[in-house]
Chains A and B, each alone.
Chain A
């Protein structure tokens, strides 16, 4: 399975944008990029996913590099409730291991008031 690399931790101020990077240099053509986040003492929750084009939803935006070897999750205006561990995961659309999500350690985001 292709792996992802994320910074261990990041810090932001409330109401400022946050850019969370993820490197996935061994990504294959059928790998989707998924982001989940895990708030303290909770199960992970889906944030966003994409393949090639940038994606926007109510929670965040996902910017995908043209060569797809990296991506950035963008929180446009951080709130205290966005403090969480953010996981970047590759999901292959086809293949026997499609169902497994390989989780790294993610990026722990702290938001300062």
Chain B
């Protein structure tokens, strides 16, 4: 079965432009997470979706960041007016919301803001 996929794998953009990052979770997984990882750092939680519940947006660093999850499956993370400090690897994970909810990660999108 397919794992979590993310696109694009790499994105280079200019400061001030908007970017959209996509995540396709494992089929049937009800929980979806976005994390950010700056160079040499651990993962920073951004947002969490669980079924039809309101998402936990407590990790979003500013109002330039938003995310949606359509039909309980695919998710898009949007960064508006990108800044150089937004450069990082953006990781998506999904889990089945059963038991200890092992998270399965995608390969990430490497974002570079020039």
Contact = CB atoms under 8 A, between A and B. Distances in A.
Interface size class of A (residues with CB under 8 A): 20 to 34
Contacts of A103: 35, 42-45
Interface of B: 4, 31, 33, 35, 41-45, 48, 50, 56, 59, 91, 93, 100-108
29 contacts: A32-B100, A34-B100, A36-B103, A42-B108, A43-B4, A43-B91, A43-B106, A43-B107, A43-B108, A44-B43, A44-B91, A44-B93, A44-B103, A46-B103, A49-B100, A49-B102, A87-B42, A91-B100, A93-B100, A99-B33, A99-B48, A99-B56, A100-B45, A100-B48, A100-B59, A101-B45, A101-B103, A102-B45, A105-B42
Nearest to B50: A99
> When A and B form their complex, which 4 residue pairs have the shortest distance between CB atoms, in order from nearest?
A43-B105, A103-B42, A103-B43, A46-B102
A11 interface: no
Given A43-B108, A44-B91, A100-B45, 16 more contacts: A36-B103, A43-B4, A43-B91, A43-B106, A46-B102, A46-B103, A46-B104, A87-B42, A99-B50, A99-B56, A100-B59, A101-B43, A103-B42, A103-B44, A103-B45, A106-B42
Contacts of B42: 87, 103-106
